[in-house]
A = this chain, B = another copy of it.
């Protein structure tokens, strides 16, 4: 399947996935787009349109098979890969991410932590020991890390990205407020916590 899917649809898929997980845990085997919509505050039309992008699911007047749909979304998002993460920069944000429980339910696991601060190296966060940045290549290789998470200051982010890629990660999740240069074959997602807050400010300013 090489069809292009809109970013907005991709962003809704994890929400569907998590809701389906919950519904499955409640022993419900069939769900309608109406019910899924009610749980997520998304219109049933939007849900049907999103899911139709990937082929024919669900039966008219009956609904979607919860287990089948959940697995299909997992496959589309690549969650079955059970990606392994390394976080570089174990400050407040890096520490918060190392402890973020939602990742596990989507199949992600944090397997390595790095920092350059001698006071932090050797400490443990959520059962994982913090290693020196200098040992990045060896540890990323040994622990089969797939994704590098960058939570260092903006001034250090490009150097860290270069090191992560040289060490063999296949994707970068960047929290530093800077545009990183990475090879085109390495997917990069930038996260900026100020964007949601600015959107809230915008909505609060309308009357």
Instruction: Considering the complex, give the chain B residue whose CB is closest to the CB of A39.
Output: B179
Among candidates B171, B177, B196, residue contacting A203 with C-beta atoms closer than 8 Å: B171
A191 partner residues in chain B, CB cutoff 8 A: 193, 196
A197–B170 touching, CB < 8 Å: no
Chain A facing B: main interface SS: helix
Closest to A105 in B: B194
Per the CB 8 Å criterion, the residue count for chain A at the interface is: 61
Q: What's the minimum C-beta distance from A165 to chain B, rounded to whole angstroms?
A: 13
Q: Contact partner of A177 among B18, B83, B173, B187, CB < 8 A? A: B18
Q: List 11 A-B contacts (CB under 8 A).
A: A7-B199, A13-B202, A78-B201, A92-B99, A93-B99, A103-B193, A108-B201, A173-B196, A173-B197, A173-B200, A189-B196
Q: Taking beta carbons and an 8 Å cutoff, which residues of A are in contact with B? A: 2, 5, 7-8, 10-11, 13-15, 17-18, 39-41, 76-79, 81, 83, 91-93, 95-100, 102-103, 106, 108, 146-147, 170-173, 177, 179, 187-206
